[in-house]
Amino acid sequence: MDADVWNEQVAQGYDESSAHMYAPDVLGPAVSFLERRAGRGPALEFAVGTGRVALPLSERGVRVAGIEKSEPMARELGRKPGGDDVALTIGDMTTSRVPGTFSLVYLVYNAITCLLSQQEQVACFRNAARHLQPGGRFVIEVFVPELQRLPPGETARPFHIGDRHVGFDTYDLVNQQLVSHHYTIVDGQGSTFLSPHRYVWPSELDLMAMLAGLDLSERWADWNEAPFTASSRSHVSVWQKPSHGSASP
């Protein structure tokens, strides 16, 4: 499934289709937030993709490594200025190991939901914990499921409407699955992209962290550290590895 979704065509057009995520008011706060949590230690990005976050974080002096399952996405990262500065491992973020330990492991832009089962998501937390130094932090940025905004009997909800991109999600409420539909116009040509996801609640993520030996230390509505409330549509959560021990394998 991953090979079919994150293929060469998608990788080559990914930055253009995600241009709104490169806007300074979107990307800047994310990089600053992660830089502060990394401190003086190295950082590891799960699902590093084409380097939207890893490259500017590296430019700020943070030593960044990345795990990426899609070889086409990884090639796009390698072609960019500074791409060679990101130590890249091709593999699955649930099982792949990177040499050394890190003060920060992070997973952004809803990438945790690309793992389509609860078991895989739990394995991701455990793999993050294995890579963390004592006192290190695991950061996830992910949407809050939009179920409260679904009228009775409807299963679709838009998440972005722009001049060159429209996106909406369709929900399978029984199986906690959704499919993101992207419709993009580049140079007058239209393209479509569908990606499957498993949506997950903040409380469920907290339980996954607990199973991995991590403790919740922060939860914000966004990278600007706005308070997280019942009406928040996303969250940035931080779990920390205890300084006095190691996480469970």
Residue by residue, pLDDT tens for the chain (249 residues) are 455 787 788 778 787 778 788 899 999 999 999 999 999 999 999 999 999 999 999 999 999 999 999 999 999 999 999 999 999 999 999 999 999 999 999 999 999 999 999 999 999 999 999 999 999 999 999 999 989 888 898 999 998 898 888 999 999 999 999 999 989 887 888 888 899 999 999 999 999 999 999 999 999 999 999 999 999 999 999 999 999 754 444
Q: Which residues pair with 191 in a beta bridge?
A: 184
- pTM for the complete prediction? 0.91
Maximum separation of any 2 CA atoms in the chain, in Å: 57
Residue 241: name the closest of 92, 99, 41 by CA.
Answer: 41
> What is the rounded CA–CA span in Å between residue 47 and residue 66?
7
Structure-token pair, residue 59: 């430019």
Quote the CA–CA distance of 35 and 62 in Å, as a whole number.
7
Retrieve residue 241's tokens: 């590895």
Residue 172 and residue 161: Cα distance in Å, rounded? 22
Distance CA 129, CA 114 (A): 19
Measure the CA dihedral 166/167/168/169, to 10°: 170
Q: For residues 248 and 112, what is the distance between their CA atoms, to the nearest angstrom?
A: 20
- Phi and psi for 155 in degrees, rounded to 5? -130, 10
User: Alpha-carbon distance 136 to 212, whole Å?
Assistant: 13
The end-to-end CA distance of the chain, in Å, is: 27
Residues 6+ positions from 240 with CB-CB distance below 8 Å: 135, 136, 137, 138, 214, 215, 217
Cα 131 to Cα 44: distance, rounded to the nearest angstrom: 8
70-to-1, 15, 83, 149 alpha-carbon distances in Å: 11, 15, 16, 33
pLDDT at 91: 97
To 10 degrees, the CA torsion angle through 22, 23, 25, 30?
Answer: 0
Give pLDDT, residue 63.
98
